[in-house]
Amino acid sequence: MSLDSDFGGPVVWEPGPDYTERAHLTQFMRQHDLSDFGALMNRSTRDVGWFTQAVLNYLDIRFKQPYSQVVDLSEGIASPRWCVGGRMNIIHNCLDKYVGTETEAQPALIWEGEGGQVRSLTYGELRTQVNRAAGGLRSLGLRPGDAIGLYMPMVPEIVVAMLAIAKIGGIILPLFSGYGAGAVASRLVDGSARALITADGYPRRGATIEMMSVADQAARACPSLKHVVIFAHAGLPVELIEGRDLTWDSLLRGQPMEAETEDTEAEAPLMVIYTSGTTGKPKGAVHTHCGFPIKAAQDMAFGMDVHPGDRIYWITDMGWMMGPWLVFGALLLGGTFFIFDGAPDFPRPDRVWDLVERHKITSLGISPTLVRALIPHGEEPFRSHDLSSLRFFGSTGEPWNPDPWMWLFQKVGGGSRPIINYSGGTEISGGILMGNPILPLKPTAFSGPCPGIAADVFDEQGHSVLNQVGELVIKSPWIGMTRGFWKDPELYLETYWSRWPDVWVHGDFAAVDSDGSWYILGRSDDTIKVAGKRLGPAEVESILVDHPAVMEAAAIGIPHEIKGSQLIVFCVLSPDVEPSSELAGELREKAAKELGKPLAPSRVRFVGDLPKTRNAKVMRRMIRAAYLGQDYGDTSALMNPEALDEFAASRDN
Contact 633, 566 (CB under 8 A): no
> Which stretches in the chain have pLDDT values below 50?
1-2, 4-6, 277-279, 614-615, 636
Question: Residue 1: what pLDDT?
Answer: 44
How big is the CA angle at 646 (ends 641 and 652), to the nearest 5 degrees?
145
Q: What is the C-alpha separation between 50 and 513, in angstroms, rounded?
A: 29
Helix 292-302 and helix 24-31: axis angle, to 10°? 100
Work out whether the CA dihedral 262, 264, 266, 268 comes out positive or negative: negative
pLDDT for res 282: 77
Nearest to 571 by CA among 604, 619, 611: 604
Residue 367 near residue 397 (C-beta atoms within 8 A): yes
May I ask the CATH architecture of the domain 97-252?
A: 3-Layer(aba) Sandwich (3.40)
528-649 fold: GMP Synthetase; Chain A, domain 3 (3.30.300)
Q: For 392, left (φ over 0), alpha (ψ -120 to 50), or beta?
A: beta
Please tell me what DSSP assigns to residue 200: S
C-alpha to C-alpha distance for 381 and 353, rounded to whole angstroms: 7
pTM: 0.85
Q: What amino acid is encoded at 226 in this protein?
A: K
Residue 630: CB atoms within 10 Å: 12
| Of 429, 428, 375, 381, nearest in space to 404 by CA | 375
Q: Which of 209, 468, 184, 158 is nearest to 340 (CA)?
A: 158
Q: Cis link prior to 347 (omega < 30° from 0)?
A: yes
Please report, for the chain, the start and end positions of each structural domain, with discontinuous segments joined by +: 17-88+268-523, 97-252, 528-649
Mapping DSSP onto H, E and C, the string for 470-505 reads EEEEECCCCCCCCCCECCCHHHHHHHHHCCCCCCEE
DSSP E strands: which ranges in 342-483?
363-365, 392-395, 419-425, 430-434, 448-449, 455-458, 470-474
DSSP for 604-616? Answer: EEE-S---BBTT-
Superfamily of domain 17-88+268-523: ANL, N-terminal domain (3.40.50.12780)
Query: Do 17-88+268-523 and 97-252 have matching folds?
Result: yes
Question: What CA–CA distance (Å, rounded) separates 467 from 461?
Answer: 16
* Contact status, residue 73 vs residue 272, Cβ threshold 8 Å: no
List strand residue ranges (DSSP E) for 205-325, in order: 207-210, 227-231, 245-247, 269-275, 283-288, 311-314
CA 592 distance to own-chain centroid: 21
CA distance 409 to 402: 10
Q: What is the spatial distance between Cα 51 and Cα 620, in angstroms, rounded to a whole number? A: 41
User: Please, which residues bridge with residue 148 across strands?
Assistant: 172, 195
pLDDT value for 612: 78
DSSP, collapsed to helix, strand or coil, labels residue 225 as coil
Write down how long the chain is: 653
Q: How many CB atoms lie within 10 A of CB 619?
A: 24
Give the contacts of 519 (CB within 8 A, at least 6 positions apart).
3, 7, 8, 399, 444, 445, 446, 510, 511, 512, 513
Q: Are 464 and 444 in contact (CB under 8 A)?
A: no
Are 152 and 124 a contacting pair, CB within 8 Å? no
Alpha helices in 142-237 (DSSP H): 156-167, 181-190, 212-220
- What's the rounded Cα separation, in Å, for the pair 265 and 64? 9
Q: Which residues pair with 273 in a beta bridge?
A: 285
- What contacts 385, CB < 8 A, 6 or more positions away? 350, 353, 354, 356, 357
